[in-house]
Structure formats: structure tokens, C-alpha cells
């Protein structure tokens, strides 16, 4: 059965964490998995050429706990993307996602990412080639358009082309990408969000699984979208304030909320195993800095970790120390 027509597949899309270069590496994803046991996780974008010719263990390796896990690919050559998708499927990924949203100069120069919004036919050929190569869902993450584009019909035609090619789901980062004059960071903030385009897409194509992304920072904001689409994808909020991910998973599934300390403790065996294999704590600790975001004593947690994690020999006791400092600062704040 094609995932497009499988209600269980649509139901599995309720929550995901966005692909984020330099952020959503394997350590980060293991942490996110602890916070949200059922969420769909995405890798950083990896170019098809790198998958084919690069160090696969480093680029594609993941921990068994990370499922369901999608590999996000960059590229615009159907044969290369098909080959990379096959490699991803062989490695055990649960989905391959094609990036049609990245606006960076480097990516534009390589003719992939957001500029592909203007090449629906080529993207359709890429998707079709990947679909033919693998049995796992092939999905597309896109914007609403590029630069001054402001035509819903053009956006919908882009999506329809990918669905005809076999795309099982569309992630809509619900704003345009401006290819000239804005940095990638500004491109995540300045072009206005238009959730209504994603809503309309879903309303007019009820069988198409649609995931909404962009600017969702609270449980309430994310949950409000679930009336309109199949799922929400959180990017920066999940990274900077990861407890939101846990709270959203709890709100969606009814699982009880766990304390931050409890969640950290669940990560402990992974951290200790990695340290034993020679990894420096800083590579994991950098993803944990936001765990106490907005909490009394939260600054203390961040400070202890960011100052201590890069020191040689830093180990789990630093996490315990960070929690202790956080607790003491919170108690002092409560008493004053």
C-alpha cells in the first residue's frame, strides 16, 4: 500500500524535529528521542554526492534508538539522488527527504535547495527516481516559493508534481525563501509566515499527508495547527528549548510529563557509553544547554556545562554538578 493512502502513515507524522545543519547530529537526535519517544527525527542535510563518495559511517551512522529517522538529502540529479536514497534505505533509514528549502549561496550555486521551487519538473524527476529506487517513503521539504513569488496555484502545482512523482508527504516551511540579499538565518525570520497556504493545501488534498513547519515555539501554537494538518515540525524551538518537545509529545500522546532531571538520567547510559568510546563530552553537552531554558537556575545549568564540557576528562559528574547548581540557584531565587 502506498503511504499516501495509509492513515497510519499520516498518523505517524504528528510530531517531528526539523533537519538542522550542525545541530541535529546523531547525539542531538538521541537526546530528542529521549524527550519525544514517538517523534520523527531528521538528519542534517547531506548532499547525495557525499552519501555516495563520503565517509558513510560518519555521515550516515546513527543510534538504534533514533527510529523513526529520516535522512535529508540535498541534490538535483535524479540518478545520484536515487543511488543515495538506496544507500540510505540499506543503512536502515525510515524515510528519505529531499531538501527544496535551503537558501544558502553555496546551495544555490550547486542548483539545489530552495531554488528547486522554480524547477518542479526536475524535482519531479528526482522524486520519481528515488521512489523507484527504494521501498521507504520519499518526502519533500519545501517553501511556499522564492523571492517575490506570491501565487498559491504555483506552489500547489509544485506540490502536485511531486505527489504525481510518488512523494509520500510534504513538509511545508510556510514562508518564501529570498534568494538574494538575505542570509539563511534571515531567511528563517524575515519572509512572512503563511500557514493558511499549508491549511489550504491539506483542505484541498485530504489524502496528502502535510506537515507544517516554521515559527512554532509553544505547545499551544503547535497543537492549534493539528486541526489543519497531519503534523507539526519544530526546528529552533526544539533545539533552544528542548523541554517544549517533551511537553508537546506528552500533550499529543497523553504520556505523563517527566522532570528534566529524569530525562537527563535516561540519557546517562548513552553518554557514558560514548565517553567510554573516547568521545569528548562537549559534543553531546552542546545539545543539552537549553534543557532548563526559562527555568529558575537555568542560566547556571548552561554556564556549568558550557564552561566545563570542553575540559579534558569531563564526564557525567559535570551533568550532576550542573543540575545541583541549577537546583541551588532555583532555591535561592525562591527564597529571595
Ligand X SMILES: Cc1cc2nc3c(=O)[nH]c(=O)nc-3n(C[C@H](O)[C@H](O)[C@H](O)COP(=O)(O)O)c2cc1C
101 is in an annotated binding site: no
Q: Could you say which of 15, 85, 88, 102 contacts ligand X (CB under 6 A)?
A: 102
Stretch near ligand X under the rule CB under 6 A, chosen from 56-64, 211-219, 243-251, 254-262: 211-219
Q: Could you say which of 99, 252, 274, 329 contacts ligand X (CB under 6 A)?
A: 99
Round to whole Å and give the CA distance between 88 and 74. Answer: 13
Q: Could you say which of 234, 263, 289, 304 contacts ligand X (CB under 6 A)?
A: 234
Q: 41 or 304, CB closer to ligand X? A: 41
Catalytically annotated residue among 28, 100, 102, 142: 102
Q: Which of residues 123-182 bind ligand X (CB under 6 A)?
A: 141, 173
Round to whole Å and give the CA distance between 141 and 126. Answer: 13
What's the grid cell of residue 135? Answer: 521501498
Q: Give ∠ CA 12-197-95 in degrees, rounded to 5.
A: 30
103 lies in the binding site for ligand X (CB under 6 A): no
Say how many Å lie between the first and final Cα of the chain, rounded. 62
Got the DSSP string for 275-332? HHTT--THHHHTTTGGGGTTSTTHHHHHHHHHHHTTSTT--HHHHHHHHHHHHHHHHH
235 is in an annotated binding site: yes
**Nearest by Cα to 92 from 62, 72, 129, 52:** 62
Round to whole Å and give the CA distance between 115 and 278. Answer: 41
287 lies in the binding site for ligand X (CB under 6 A): no
Q: Could you say which of 191, 215, 290, 297 contacts ligand X (CB under 6 A)?
A: 215
Q: Cα-flanking dihedrals φ and ψ of residue 264, to 5°? A: -60, -45
66 lies in the binding site for ligand X (CB under 6 A): no
**Nearest by Cα to 39 from 12, 57, 58, 19:** 12
Q: Is 115 tagged catalytic? A: no
Stretch near ligand X under the rule CB under 6 A, chosen from 21-29, 62-70, 149-157, 320-328: 21-29
Binding site for ligand X (CB under 6 A): 18-23, 44-45, 72, 99, 101-102, 141, 173, 188, 213-216, 234-237
Please enumerate, by residue number, every residue annotated as part of a binding site.
Answer: 19-21, 72, 141, 173, 213-215, 235-236
Please enumerate, by residue number, every residue annotated as part of a binding site for FMN.
Answer: 19-21, 72, 141, 173, 213-215, 235-236
Amino acid at each position: 500500500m502506498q503511504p499516501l493512502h495509509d492513515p497510519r502513515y499520516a498518523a505517524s507524522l504528528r510530531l517531528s524535529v526539523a533537519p538542522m545543519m550542525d545541530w541535529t547530529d546523531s547525539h542531538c537526535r538521541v537526546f530528542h528521542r529521549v524527550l519525544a519517544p514517538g517523534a520523527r527525527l531528521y538528519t542534517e542535510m547531506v548532499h547525495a554526492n557525499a552519501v555516495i563518495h563520503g565517509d558513510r559511517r560518519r555521515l550516515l551512522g546513527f543510534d538504534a534508538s533514533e527510529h523513526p529517522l529520516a535522512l535529508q538529502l540535498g541534490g538535483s540529479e535524479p540518478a545520484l539522488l536515487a543511488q543515495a536514497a538506496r544507500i540510505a534505505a540499506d543503512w536502515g533509514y525510515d524515510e528519505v527527504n529531499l531538501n527544496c528549502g535551503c537558501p544558502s549561496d553555496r546551495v544555490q550555486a550547486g542548483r539545489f535547495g530552495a531554488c528547486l521551487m522554480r524547477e518542479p519538473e526536475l524535482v519531479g524527476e528526482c522524486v520519481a527516481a528515488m521512489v523507484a529506487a527504494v521501498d521507504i517513503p520519499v518526502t519533500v521539504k519545501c517553501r511556499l516559493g522564492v523571492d517575490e513569488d506570491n501565487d498559491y496555484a504555483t506552489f500547489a502545482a509544485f506540490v502536485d508534481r511531486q505527489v504525481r512523482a510518488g512523494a509520500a508527504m510534504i513538509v511545508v516551511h510556510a514562508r518564501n525563501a529570498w534568494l538574494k540579499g538575505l542570509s539563511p538565518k534571515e531567511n528563517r525570520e524575515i519572509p512572512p509566515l503563511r500557514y493558511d497556504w499549508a491549511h489550504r493545501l491539506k483542505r484541498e488534498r485530504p489524502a496528502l499527508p502535510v506537515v507544517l513547519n516554521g515559527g512554532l515555539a509553544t505547545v499551544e501554537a503547535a497543537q492549534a495547527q493539528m486541526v489543519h494538518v497531519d503534523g507539526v515540525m519544530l526546528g529552533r524551538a526544539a533545539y533552544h528549548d528542548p523541554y517544549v518537545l517533551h511537553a508537546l509529545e506528552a500533550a499529543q500522546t497523553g504520556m505523563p510529563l517527566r522532570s528534566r532531571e529524569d530525562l537527563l538520567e535516561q540519557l546517562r547510559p548513552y553518554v557514558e557509553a560514548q565517553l567510554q568510546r573516547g568521545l569528548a563530552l562537549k559534543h553531546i553537552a552542546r545539545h543539552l544547554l537549553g534543557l532548563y531554558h526559562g527555568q529558575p537556575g537555568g542560566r547556571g545549568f548552561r554556564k556549568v556545562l558550557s564552561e566545563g564540557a570542553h575540559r579534558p576528562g569531563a564526564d557525567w559528574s559535570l551533568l550532576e554538578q550542573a543540575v545541583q547548581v541549577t537546583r541551588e540557584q532555583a532555591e535561592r531565587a525562591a527564597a529571595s
